[in-house]
């Protein structure tokens, strides 16, 4: 992410065209809500979750970029939820609870579930996807073919 002159941009690199480009971050009511946020991949599209205020009961907005930024979800007045951590493949969102527990939010029912996983410092969720393409032409990590 690039920060300059009070504007935030995501810097991206297109592997096919071998060109850099910038993508502006969405604004909430004319200002940039950067208290707590996280960027992630939403089915191949750039996405961002913002925490709008610093109160104990925060509001979160979930935006996705197609041709322009579109707000796709608004979560209002959630007590005990600290910041967004990432997006899960089935539409659910990971959040950090104020007690440092990882929470999973299901937007279809509007509920959080504690996962019983706790952390001690600034963590985030990274989704790994299995890939059948070998690294450096090798089918396994030991280099045997």
Q: Is 95 contained in some domain?
A: yes
pLDDT above 90 covers a percentage of the chain that reads 4
**Domain range spanning residue 100?**
34-118
Q: How confident is the model at residue 113 (pLDDT cuts 50, 70, 90)?
A: very high
Segment 80-94 mean pLDDT: 79
Q: Is 111 contained in some domain?
A: yes
Q: What is the DSSP string of 22-33?
A: EEEPP-BTTB--
At residue 49, the pLDDT reads: 77
Q: Is 69 contained in some domain?
A: yes
What are the pLDDT digits (tens) for 63-74?
Answer: 888 888 888 888
Q: Is 64 contained in some domain?
A: yes
Q: Is 109 contained in some domain?
A: yes
Query: What values do phi and psi take at 128, rounded to 5?
Result: -105, 135
Q: Is 43 contained in some domain?
A: yes
User: How many domains does the structure of the chain reveal?
Assistant: 1
Whether 109 shows a pLDDT value over 60: the answer reads yes
User: Structure pTM?
Assistant: 0.62
Please tell me the least confidently modeled range out of 26-30, 57-61, 67-71, 106-110: 26-30
Segment 38-65 mean pLDDT: 75
């Amino acid at each position: 992410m690039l920060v300059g002159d009070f504007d935030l941009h995501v810097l991206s690199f297109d592997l096919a065209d071998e060109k850099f480009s910038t993508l502006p971050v969405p604004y909430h009511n004319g200002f940039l809500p950067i208290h707590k946020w996280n960027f992630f991949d939403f089915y191949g599209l750039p996405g961002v979750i913002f925490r709008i205020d610093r109160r104990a009961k925060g509001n979160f907005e979930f935006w996705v970029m197609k041709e322009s930024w579109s707000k796709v979800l608004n979560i209002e007045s959630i007590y005990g939820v600290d910041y967004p951590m990432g997006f899960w493949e089935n539409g659910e969102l990971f959040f950090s609870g104020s007690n440092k527990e990882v929470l999973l939010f299901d937007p279809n029912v509007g509920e959080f579930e504690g996962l019983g996983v706790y952390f001690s410092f600034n963590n985030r969720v990274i989704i790994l996807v299995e890939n059948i393409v070998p690294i450096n032409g090798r089918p396994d990590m030991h280099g045997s073919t």
